[in-house]
């Protein structure tokens, strides 16, 4: 059960939203002004905050900073009837998880709520790992290729050495967070916390406070003292994801911390010392960024003491089928274990695919295929268009699949194949429409569920259905 605070001067809307959240299992508290909202947050631990952008006594953006200071563990969703206020929304980007434009429907609320709670679940248990005595131990690296075996051996050696700083590089979706987790659980700090921070989500003005914390009164809105992420990770690992997005000024502060593991909280005078392993990760070319002057050379070489490079999936095809089997087994088990494998034809398509999104793309694809699979085995006809680069891809519509197979087998038999398929979709747009309609039918017309299964937004789904074929 989640606790949610709504801060909105529109009492009727707040009551309607509160009733819906209670129906979904939330405990809800409401406030109708900025000051009342902050007072409520001061005495109420909360998981989620719905904050109106315009309040009678103060602007929503003025409430945001002290709210984040009071309840740093809570996710914030902004509500506004003025979506054209792009400057205000830009000012809070990176400090809120999402926003809703009034009036909104419960269908529009659902994905926002799911993203907020998922984001909180993903990050909060890491930040609180030390207090809870937990650590991410159930980590497994799947792969039989030579690059995978070499990577696994290197991670084990670095972890056993107790290295204080490491740099994990690789394309998006290759598993950099997994490698960071292994460096943690196999090293001497395994019993400490594993704290993750996305560097691209922290603005330059907030970086020092987020990383090192602040004392009460250090700046406007600093109602109480707050520990930073580095202090929370004491005795464990601080995982700095997307370090290539970190502003230059922030890089200098991080380098000083790496050198002696000491820091001052913002507004503080007492030096704090910690024992923290730093694992940084990026999909960018930091060496090129050093040459361009957008990344500090001294920080780059400090992190390069223990480099870990993860190869893209397309360069290690031996890992494709073991990985698909792993994800299929895990995802199918979560959904009742009905789907047991792929047909040989589908496996050949998986092996031939380039996997531009790497393992993350594979995991998301298999989840979608398991949801939509009508039987025990996933066939090639269920794979997306991009798995058929040389010809229009088979549609999940069985009749269309049969027509396409006839056309391929009788390709030199005069005009008959064309006649057999004249009623079938022929362009990529038409095939896409056919697939969307099929998914929508499987979801019994529920557009929100269909959009989630397709990996697109509900707005995109509506536009695709409305657009001419």
Across residues 84-94, what is the average pLDDT? Answer: 49
Comparing 54-63, 149-158, 340-349, which segment has the lowest mean pLDDT?
A: 54-63
Name the pLDDT band for 426 (thresholds 50, 70, 90): very low
Cα(121)–Cα(440) distance, integer angstroms: 29
Q: What is the pLDDT of residue 385?
A: 87
Q: In whole angstroms, how far apart are CA 421 and each of 227, 399, 400, 417, 431?
A: 66, 10, 8, 6, 13
Q: How many residues are recorded in the chain? A: 469
Confidence at 45, pLDDT banded by 50, 70, 90: confident
Q: Which domains does the chain have, with CATH numbers?
A: 3-127 (3.40.50.2300), 131-311 (3.40.50.300), 314-466 (1.10.8.60)
Q: What is the mean pLDDT of the chain?
A: 80
pTM, rounded to two decimals:
0.57
Confidence of residue 346 (pLDDT cuts 50, 70, 90): very high
Q: Which phi and psi angles does 227 have, rounded to 5°?
A: -75, 145
Bridge partners of 459, per DSSP, are none
pLDDT of residue 421: 38
Residue of higher predicted confidence among 149 and 200: 149
Query: How remote is the C-alpha of 324 from its chain's centroid?
Result: 20
Nearest to 211 by CA among 192, 190, 195, 188: 195
Q: Is pLDDT above 80 for 141?
A: yes
Residue 371 has pLDDT above 70, yes or no: yes
- Confidence at residue 377, expressed as pLDDT on a 0 to 100 scale: 93
Q: d(Cα 74, Cα 4) in Å, to the nearest integer?
A: 9
Closest by Cα among 362, 363, 361, 321 to 342? 321
């Amino acid at each position: 059960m989640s606790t949610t605070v709504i801060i909105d001067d529109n009492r009727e809307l707040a009551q309607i939203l509160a009733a819906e959240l209670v129906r979904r299992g939330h405990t809800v508290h409401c406030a109708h002004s900025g000051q009342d909202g902050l007072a409520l947050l001061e005495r109420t631990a909360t998981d989620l905050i719905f904050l109106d952008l315009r309040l009678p006594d103060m602007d929503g953006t003025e409430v945001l900073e002290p709210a984040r200071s009071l309840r740093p563990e809570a996710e914030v969703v902004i509500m506004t009837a003025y979506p054209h206020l792009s400057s205000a929304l830009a000012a809070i980007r990176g400090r809120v998880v999402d926003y809703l434009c009034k009036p909104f429907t419960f269908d529009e609320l659902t994905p926002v709520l799911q993203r907020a709670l998922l984001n909180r679940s993903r990050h909060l248990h890491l930040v609180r790992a030390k207090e809870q005595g937990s650590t991410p131990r159930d980590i497994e690296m799947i792969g039989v290729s030579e690059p995978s075996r070499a990577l696994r051996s290197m991670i084990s050696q670095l972890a056993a050495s107790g290295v204080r700083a490491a740099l994990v590089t690789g394309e998006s979706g290759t598993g950099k967070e997994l490698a960071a987790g292994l460096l943690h659980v196999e090293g001497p700090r395994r019993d400490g916390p594993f704290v993750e921070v996305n560097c691209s989500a922290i603005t330059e003005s907030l970086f020092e406070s987020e990383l090192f914390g602040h004392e009460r009164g250090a700046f406007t809105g600093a109602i109480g003292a707050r520990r930073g992420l580095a202090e929370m990770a004491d005795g464990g690992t601080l995982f700095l994801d997307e370090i290539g997005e970190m502003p230059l000024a922030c890089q200098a502060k991080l380098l000083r911390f790496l050198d002696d593991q000491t820091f001052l909280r913002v507004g503080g005078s007492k030096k704090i010392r910690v024992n923290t392993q730093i694992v940084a990760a990026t999909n960018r070319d930091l060496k090129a960024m050093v040459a361009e002057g957008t990344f500090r050379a001294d920080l780059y070489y400090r992190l390069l003491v223990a480099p870990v490079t993860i190869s893209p999936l397309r360069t290690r095809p031996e890992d494709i089928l073991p990985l698909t089997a792993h994800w299929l087994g895990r995802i199918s088990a979560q959904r009742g274990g009905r789907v047991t494998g792929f047909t040989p034809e589908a496996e050949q398509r998986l092996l031939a695919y380039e996997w531009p999104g790497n393992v993350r793309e594979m995991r998301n694809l298999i989840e979608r295929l398991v949801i939509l699979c009508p039987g025990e085995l996933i066939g090639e006809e269920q794979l997306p268009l991009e798995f058929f680069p040389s010809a229009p891809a088979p549609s999940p519509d069985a009749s269309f699949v049969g027509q396409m197979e006839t056309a391929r087998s009788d390709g030199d038999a005069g005009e008959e194949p064309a006649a057999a398929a004249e009623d079938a979709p022929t362009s990529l747009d038409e095939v896409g429409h056919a697939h969307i309609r099929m998914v929508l039918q499987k979801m019994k017309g529920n557009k929100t569920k269909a959009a989630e299964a397709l990996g697109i937004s509900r707005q995109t789904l509506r536009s695709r259905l409305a657009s001419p074929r």
